[in-house]
Amino acid sequence: MDDARGRDPGLFTPASVTWQLHADPMMWIAGIRALYLQALHPRAVRGVLQNSDFRRDAWGRLLRTADFVGVTTYGTTEDAERAGERVRKIHGMLTATDPDTGERYGVGEPELLLWVHCAEIASYLQVVRRSGFPFTGAQADRYLAEHRAGARLVGLDPAEVPADRAALDAYFEKVRPELAAGPEAREVDDFLRRPPVHPLLVPARALLWRHVAALAYDSLPAWAHALYGRPAPPPTTVTRHLRTTGTLLRAIPASLRRRTPPRHLLHAVTRLGPGARPAPGRVPR
């Protein structure tokens, strides 16, 4: 690696809220919440199910999403731009069909990309914050503003992307009439509740995964529960469960947690030095 590339902190840099928040272990639960939320947009979820083998490669899709988040957060600027270029190229080639009208549309339409982006970023912010990660409202707004850079990578105009909590809330209020738990959303829901696993892992699915998926679902907004038609515990109870889970996961030494795939953060610390290692106390104020 040449010197310039070795010193490149990437799009977000260790001085960003994103750098600190995305290292938190609750991001995995937040990612599952994002899938639940994203599936409620019929046009967006059709684009996924009609263009991928989600039913047989859902785990691969989850890991590819985690890899994209990892490389755009902790990779070099060149790495992030290259990852964004690949995503834009794929989106530009894919279409989906509305089964009711026969309309064909591109999966890279700005309104669909915006929905996926907002559902994802809102889920990361909500789950990590509610699980006890020390965060002020101003830091939450800064996190959303930082992710205009990530939105640009997938093909969105940053000026059209919500940059604070008020704008994000207004976006969800505006888009809610378009949302529904159609057959595709039910399919995603069924997978997340009972993902296919090797027969030897069925007991682990019942003991562990069921609780993880339930917590991700419970952390959705009330209007999402209403669309899916399944109740959830009161928000105060969900927040307590998120805090308990966050406390347990954060008790696992970071040196062990960060060795699970993808390992982009480890590479970033190697590249930039120990000062780049995330910690809640380093969230910029």
The 10s digit of each residue's pLDDT in 64-102 is 888 999 999 999 999 999 999 999 999 999 999 999 999
Residue that wins the pLDDT comparison between 146 and 283: 146
54 pLDDT more than 80: no
**What domain range is 34 assigned to?**
3-261
The predicted structure's pLDDT at residue 55: 64
Question: Which amino acid, one-letter code, is at 189?
Answer: D
Least confident among 18-27, 52-61, 128-137? 52-61
111 pLDDT more than 70: yes
> Across residues 125-139, what is the average pLDDT?
95
Residue that wins the pLDDT comparison between 281 and 105: 105
For the chain, what is the domain count? Answer: 1
In 3D space, the residue among 201, 202, 117 whose CA is nearest the CA of residue 162 turns out to be: 117
210 pLDDT more than 80: yes
The predicted structure's pLDDT at residue 170: 98
Residue 267 lies in a domain: no
Residue 107 lies in a domain: yes
Residue 96 lies in a domain: yes
> For residue 62, what pLDDT band results from cuts at 50, 70 and 90?
confident
Residue 278 lies in a domain: no
Residue 114 lies in a domain: yes
The predicted structure's pLDDT at residue 195: 75
Residue 162 lies in a domain: yes
The predicted structure's pLDDT at residue 95: 95
Residue 26 lies in a domain: yes
Least confident among 38-52, 76-90, 189-203, 245-259? 189-203
Residue 60 lies in a domain: yes
150 pLDDT more than 60: yes
The predicted structure's pLDDT at residue 219: 98
Spatial distance between the Cα atoms of 113 and 136, rounded to a whole number of angstroms: 28
The predicted structure's pLDDT at residue 248: 93
- Specify the residue for token string 């995503």: 87
The predicted structure's pLDDT at residue 282: 82
> For residue 61, what pLDDT band results from cuts at 50, 70 and 90?
confident
